[in-house]
């Protein structure tokens, strides 16, 4: 267990901070407050912040190749253009369900998770979404080629060589591995077994990121910690946090050396003063450049 210098990037009181993502094109960190329906940005160079409201709960906001954002909303996958204009890519409203974590694969496709508000078993899904050519009005229609039932669709990431996809369905308590380099859209994912299982009492696996060494960093909800697992599943680092509910983590900043950590206040009876803030662990390691959504 290590106690490094945890700093505050953005002091906030997010109900359910989530989805930190480095936007290389703008040099800013994106993150969301799901239950407040807000998309935040933070520029570490000058400390500037922005906040944008969405009309639905937003589980993730990720950069698009042509500018703007792809967002995982309550009723499906939406797009914001560079000027802020909104359109639906995949609209699939299901009563009692919302979008949760999401990530972009090395091929530019979006993998998006969902869940029921009551966390009912099997009530969510993991889907793979691509965008078709825009129509005459500039609108794209999304294609969903993979659907996998889950309960709480959460952390998703890829090994640096693109061969392995890591995925978390939180109630399983596992970080699962799937074969990615031979996967064909629409075909079942090839399960390679769990990378790691979180032991009882240590918290619940939530969001994750993969570093340049191929190690997986995972946030432990109710575990007040971030863990780093080697590619063979060995636990080699645990970072204690002052907050009970970290939700996810991502590398960003100059050279992708700083680890940003989102946190949540929801359900915490006596929150620490930093609960709900965006935290940062300076010079934590070496991140991998992300891929913007190709749509």
Active site residues: 206
CA 129/CA 75 separation, integer angstroms: 14
The residues, any chain, with a CB within 8 Å of residue 136's CB and separated by 6 or more, are none
- For residue 236, what are the β-bridge partners? none
Q: How far apart are CA 233 and CA 101, in angstroms?
A: 23
47 within 8 A of 32, measured Cβ to Cβ: no
Q: How far apart are CA 115 and CA 278, in angstroms?
A: 23
Distance CA 104, CA 13 (A): 27
Q: Who's near 173: CB < 8 A, 6+ residues apart? A: 197, 198, 200, 204, 205
Q: Distance of CA 77 to CAs 35, 91, 128, 241, Å?
A: 17, 6, 11, 32
Sheet containing strand 174-179, strands side by side: 153-158, 164-169, 174-179, 190-197
């Amino acid at each position: 267990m290590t106690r490094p210098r945890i700093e505050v990037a953005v002091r906030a009181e997010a109900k359910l901070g989530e989805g930190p993502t480095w936007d290389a094109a703008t040099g800013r960190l994106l993150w969301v407050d799901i239950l407040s329906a807000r998309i935040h940005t933070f520029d570490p160079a000058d400390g500037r912040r922005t906040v944008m409201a969405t009309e639905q709960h937003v589980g993730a906001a990720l950069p698009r190749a042509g500018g703007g954002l792809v967002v995982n909303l309550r009723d499906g996958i939406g797009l914001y253009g560079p000027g802020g204009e909104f359109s639906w890519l995949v609209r699939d409203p299901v009563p009692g369900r919302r979008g949760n974590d999401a990530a972009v694969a090395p091929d530019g496709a979006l993998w998006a998770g969902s869940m029921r508000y009551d966390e009912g078993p099997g009530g969510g899904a993991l889907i793979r979404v691509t965008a078709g050519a825009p129509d005459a009005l500039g609108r794209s229609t999304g294609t969903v080629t993979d659907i996998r039932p889950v309960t709480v669709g959460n952390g998703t990431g890829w090994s640096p060589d693109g061969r392995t996809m890591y995925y978390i369905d939180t109630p399983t308590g596992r970080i699962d591995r799937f074969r990615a380099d031979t996967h064909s859209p629409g075909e079942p994912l090839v399960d390679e077994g769990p990378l790691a299982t979180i032991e009882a009492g240590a918290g619940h696996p939530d969001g994750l990121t993969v570093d340049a060494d191929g190690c997986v960093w995972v946030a432990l909800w109710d575990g007040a910690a971030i863990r780093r697992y080697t590619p063979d599943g060995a636990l080699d680092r645990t970072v204690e946090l002052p907050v009970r509910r970290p939700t996810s983590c991502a590398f960003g900043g100059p050279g992708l050396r700083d680890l940003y950590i989102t946190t949540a206040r929801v359900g915490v009876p006596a929150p620490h003063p930093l609960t709900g803030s965006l935290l940062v662990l300076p010079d934590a390691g070496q991140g991998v450049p992300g891929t913007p959504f190709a749509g």
